[in-house]
Structure 1
């Protein structure tokens, strides 16, 4: 290996002394491409070559500047340039790619520095090259986890010239981590005093609002403290947590409400269900819950009741429609709970879902429909590093693929509007691109019913802020710096044009599954980063490319609704 390095150095000297034409560098690069990732004096061979190449071929960068560069940081910088090249995970692959790029661009001397460093480091003055130490100082490194269309995040970050990516999630120099989950995040390192500033895209305790049971509990407490009626904007909800000693009480509370309000035909059918037997065994708790049940009973709007007396069962820790079932009787619910608790519930994709925590909600049996089909509304909320809550001005309507009916509760294409569910329907995309409509299309459709923006969207904003205020003391209780998060909030409208909060999701779907989302999602991310990343890690200028009709490119589409306090 040492002989190989000496050979490379000889080739470079020959070029420098005029004894070898420019094709000599091609030969050097090809020699490098044939080597492995062995290290000499603690530095990989490709790093050795790049240092030599900079000294010889970039006269604007003085040799003393190169020598003054922190070797470890420079090596890390080169490694991150390597990771920015797709699928190149070792020095040998990088060398091959650099050789190919060098040979292709050797006749364009202005691009030489860009080819080697992975960026054009010239300033606005095309004849002035930024010194290499300045280049390294002003760059930020990000790690991007895969999945959930992570490519759109990469596309947005690529418009910020200071940001470069790494594939090494353990890199100590990472400034920003974006992952689907917070697994592996070291929140104790998110301190302002740290030498390497780092931001992450999840709050440490986001489950206080993104987990269905926690959302309801926190909202319930917030409403009690502020004399608000939770049942005026959240469906009647019961939490069943079979990991706690209070599970019997919560189950009894649900069963008592269920029995008191069930049609006679359903009461007769369910009378021998084992949950009814449990109810009788827990008779000692009856008076504790009677008053609560009576209050709830009097406040449920008629739109939640049809002819079928339907409920909806949701495991608390899943999203995108996974594990959700519409329930028409206790036998069905008993079977599903047994399946989930024992880990026998299997999804269509083969995934096994196991859970001991659930929410049971009264099903909205009289929803507002579009062309006789059910829909819900997805909006985005942003909580930034200063606990300021923002609302993205445009969301979208998610349509079911089949006409609404309460007769068949097993047909998910009727009842669940998540794109992750609907995309498997034979009718998916036949009536709308990606089964989606814009807010403007919804406003036009409902113009005879009411003002969609003033009555629906404004109400959604108010409810969203209440939801996040309910976790103001919990979502960042340890005061971590540089956390921010984008959430997906789901709402429904009943037949009386009233808005209901269904759930709030961490890691909302970023799939650009329609022309509408191809416009909204990149802009949503770009404007979110302007309020978060660009404030934590200042940039010189970004390229504006994510246009949305009827909005100026310079307008940030995130509307600040308030600060959590």
Structure 2
């Protein structure tokens, strides 16, 4: 599912260092220098680059390769155009990895290309409280009538017909059946725009509950029901909750896929990913993080974490088992097409800087009919090896990514990888 502030692991990060253009002449020309900032399993990145010949760590400057959790304060213009200098973030990635920008770009592209945006991602609204926090009714003037239109009492009757604007038909609010509720379990999600790993995500059923949440966020509110930490936010995405998800043994899950994008806009998808499961049985009557948020950063605090499967994670082959082979046969191709589509939305505005690249974490959910929904796109996806499955997948994913974006530049060696090339934009 672009963030100056969005990272899957954004707690401990250091800024990129400016690159002095004279630095190459001062050091051993037969050695390649790297710097890896701490956080998000940085030891794995170091171990992966050290497997390669003639690489040496540099504490002072980015010379050949820099890996960091974010690119705050980094100036891409300092990258040399005559020497090979690589960073692990793409300029403008926030156009996809910030929740509000993702929705904006999807809507604009869909409207121009005659495709219904709410067939790709859940019905969403962006709100900004920076100058309007004292007048929530005005802030919510776009959302409130849609909320009223689709609430259960109206679903049982004739739905409210909002004024239809033909020029906006492809972004006109509409609700897929998987999001509707005919009982009294009407659920929407409030997501702070600046955070990942489930931080700050809240659920509400009424407009009054939403207003209370928004006021709390302007003052500082708890990250999770089990955390003493507090976060503040003034920018949010309101998104409709999938009320009829496909369940695995009665529990909710989402799918994490890795996507690699090079500075040439070559787009790859790693041929293995994983499903992240909740620790509690699905229950719409309870607004519990352990039921509804599948992020490992949340689930690891549950008393049932790891009870059903190690790390609450399962492989593609297990997803195939649960779906009678339909995940690989029909779901995955649809997911790949949405990934390509997401990059088409920003291809004309995206900056290409040698030799930057990025690994993104795409999150999808399946509804009861196995239709995939794009939830969000993450920069700096979690690399923690929190299960035997991830101990197998993540090191291979990183190593094979380096075979694409690093090795050919320095050793001229190109090897086969488990990254599947989707296309070049």
Specify the TM-score bucket, using the shorter chain as the normaliser: 0.7 to 0.9
Corresponding residue number in structure 2 for 1:34: none
Gap runs ≥5 in structure 1: 1-71, 78-135, 267-285, 542-553
Distance in 1 (alpha carbons) for counterparts of 2:90 and 2:255? 24
> In structure 2, how many angstroms separate the alpha carbons of the residues matched to 1:496 and 1:333?
30
Q: Check if 1:161 corresponds to 2:57.
A: no
Aligned-partner Cα distance in 2 for 1:351–1:432: 28
TM-score, length of structure 2 as denominator length = 0.86
**Do residues 260 (structure 1) and 149 (structure 2) align?**
yes
TM-superposed deviation, 1:319: 0.5
Rounded Cα–Cα distance in structure 2 between residues aligned with 1:539 and 1:465: 28
Matching of residue 561 in structure 1 with residue 422 in structure 2: yes
Distance 2:346 2:137 in 1: 27
Deviation at 1:309, TM superposition (A): 1.3
Alignment of 1:277-426 (within 5 A): 296=172, 299-306=174-181, 307=183, 308-347=185-224, 348-409=226-287, 411-426=288-303
- Structural mapping, 1:22-37, within 5 Å: none
Q: Does the Cα contact within 8 Å between 1:336 and 1:345 map onto a contact in 2? A: no
Q: Distance in 2 between matches of 1:175 and 1:430?
A: 44
Q: How does 1:60-139 map to 2 (within 5 A)?
A: 136-139=28-31
Deviations 1:437-491 (A, max 9, x none): 00001101210xx621121111110001111111212332xx4221100000000
Residues 175, 199 of structure 1: 8 Å contact kept: yes
CA contact (8 A) 1:235 1:500 kept: yes
Cα deviation for residue 242 of structure 1 reads 2.5
Seen in structure 2, the aligned counterparts of structure 1 residues 222 and 250 have a Cα distance that, compared at 3 Å, is farther
Q: 1:146-193 deviations in whole A, cap 9, x for unaligned?
A: 01111111111111112111233xx2x621110101134221112413
| Alpha-carbon separation, structure 2, partners of 1:335 and 1:250 | 14
Q: Which of 339, 343, 354 is the aligned partner of 1:468?
A: 343
Query: 2:86 matched to 1:199?
Result: yes
Residue 290 of structure 1 and its aligned partner are, at CA, apart by 11
Q: How does 1:1-80 map to 2 (within 5 A)?
A: none
State which structure, 1 or 2, has the greater radius of gyration over its C-alpha atoms. Answer: 1
CA–CA separation in structure 2 for the residues paired with 1:539 and 1:319: 37
Q: Tell me the residue number matched to 1:175.
A: 64
Does the C-alpha gap of structure 1 residues 155 and 563 become closer, same or farther in structure 2, counting only changes over 3 Å?
A: same
User: Measured at CA, do residues 430 and 531 of structure 1 come closer, stay the same or move farther in structure 2, by a change above 3 Å?
Assistant: same
Contact 1:200 1:484 in 2 (8 A): yes
Change (3 A) 1:516 1:223: same
Query: Which stretch shifts more, 286-295 or 229-238?
Result: 286-295
- TM-superposed deviation, 1:346: 4.9
Instruction: Return the offset for 1:259.
Output: 1.4
1:143 to 29, 32, 35: 35
2:111/2:168 contact within 8 Å kept: no
> Alpha-carbon deviation of 1:367?
0.2
User: In the alignment, which residue of structure 1 is the partner of 2:388?
Assistant: 515
Write the distance in 1 (CA, Å) between the matches of 2:243 and 2:196: 22
- Map of 2:10 onto structure 1: none
- Residues 328-354 of structure 1 show CA distances to partners (whole Å, capped at 9, x for unaligned) of 122221111111123344555443311
Q: In the alignment, which residue of structure 2 is the partner of 1:109?
A: none
Cα distance in 2 for partners of 1:391, 1:511 equals: 19
Q: Distance in 2 between matches of 1:288 and 1:560?
A: 41
Distance (Å, rounded) in 2 between the aligned partners of 1:498 and 1:464: 14
In structure 2, distance between residues paired with 1:161 and 1:350? 46
Distance 1:314 1:334 in 2: 14
Q: Secondary structure at the match of 1:373?
A: coil
Q: 2:361 aligns with which of 488, 492, 504?
A: 488
In structure 2, the partner of 1:66 is none
> Quick check: 1:238–1:250 contact (8 Å CA) kept in 2?
no
Partner of 1:85: none
User: Following the alignment from structure 1 to structure 2, what is the Cα–Cα distance between the partners of residues 336 and 523?
Assistant: 41
Alignment-derived partner of residue 3 in structure 2: none
1:137 match: secondary structure = coil
Taking the aligned partners of 2:227 and 2:199, their CA distance within structure 1 comes to 11
Separation (CA, whole Å) in 2 of partners of 1:224 and 1:244 = 29
Task: Give, in whole Å, the separation in 2 of the partners of 1:539 and 1:384.
Answer: 17
| 1:530 has 2:391 as partner | no
Cα distance in 2 between the residues matched to 1:395 and 1:424: 23
Deviation at 1:324, TM superposition (A): 0.6
Cα distance in structure 1, aligned partners of 2:131 and 2:270: 38
TM-score normalised to structure 1 length: 0.65
- Residues 244, 163 of structure 1: alpha-carbon distance in 2 compared, 3 angstrom cutoff: farther
1:444 to 308, 321, 325: 321
- In the superposition, relative to structure 1, how do residues 338 and 418 fare at CA in structure 2: closer, same or farther (>3 Å)? same
Q: Equivalent residue of 2:195, what SS?
A: coil
Shift of 1:198: 1.6
Q: CA RMSD in A?
A: 2.7
SS of equivalent residue, structure 2 residue 348? coil
